[in-house]
Chains A and B, each alone.
Chain A
Amino acid sequence: MEIPTIVGAGLIVIGAGLGIGKIGGSAMDAIARQPEASGKIQTAMLIAAALIEGIGFAALFAS
């Protein structure tokens, strides 16, 4: 593995981490606002996080 590949992998992880973090944070806010909808919010959060994760892994394997 050369240095540029490692840098690329790091960038991918930063991007995916930011994305999933933002989803998690927003879901927390939403649950705090409407605790009765927490089930639906969690489902939507997991799907969105899984989609970002999928792209992240695809990019990691390409790098």
Chain B
Amino acid sequence: MTKIKVNGTVHELNDVSEDTPLLWVLRDHLGLTGTKYGCGVSECGACTVHIDGEAVQSCVTDLSEVGDSEVTTIEGLSEDGSHPVQKAWKEFGVPQCGYCQVGQIMMAAAMLKSNSAPTDEDIEREMWNICRCGTYPRIRAAVKAAAQEINQ
């Protein structure tokens, strides 16, 4: 049995092998389907979650690597979608299909914690997530707006 702490709750996992990527533990064993599969090789960022506050790609993070760390998924980012990044995403109408947006939001939220006034270059470097709908222009604008709100 393995224990894992997700969104403040400790879960006990039976019969889940230690080398299972966190992504599938969250989705298939804990039913937290907000975190998405996109590539499985950390190329697209759709599976981004926070581990102890840092953005991590859950598709390449084995359960054994999580240990006692705190995992935060989109379901735990805010109770009601009121995180500044989520609010900015709504204000700018960022999502098209919406599939990659959870990963984008988690990535942006983690970035803004360490850099609350990102430049265009910072945003381009840190927000490397793939969006096939092409929402990048709005992501850029929404990240800046979220940064402003955080700084107020």
Chain B binds chain A: no
Q: Which residues of B contact A (CB under 8 A)?
A: none
